[in-house]
Amino acid sequence: MFSCLAHLRQDSITVREQQIIAAGQTIGALGNSGFSPGPHLHLHFMDSVDLLTASPLPITLHADGRSYAPQAGDMIAK
């Protein structure tokens, strides 16, 4: 399983590849890179490291006492 977090603010990433992180640990700051309409986080889980050929994997997120099972294109706003 591989993950991709996109649109983080440039030079804000505080972790390194293969590092084990804890729940709630800051990994970077929201940014507005590419052609995005505003600061946000694009979170994607996939079956290989290559973004262009990987297949997406289903996930369930647990936050604020709720569970989310987003589908392709879904947006979750807090």
pLDDT, tens digit, 9 for 90 and up, residues 14-53: 999 889 999 889 999 988 877 778 888 888 899 999 989 9
pLDDT, tens digit, 9 for 90 and up, residues 31-40: 887 777 888 8
| 77 confidence band (pLDDT: 50, 70, 90) | confident
3-state secondary structure of 16: coil
Q: Which pLDDT value is given to residue 70? A: 86
DSSP per-residue codes, 25-67: -----BB--TT-SSSB-EEEEESSS-TTTPPB----EEETTEE
Look up residue 42 and give its amino acid: H
Buried b (16+ CB within 10 A) or exposed e, 39-66: eeeeeeebeeeeeeeeeeeeeeeeeeee
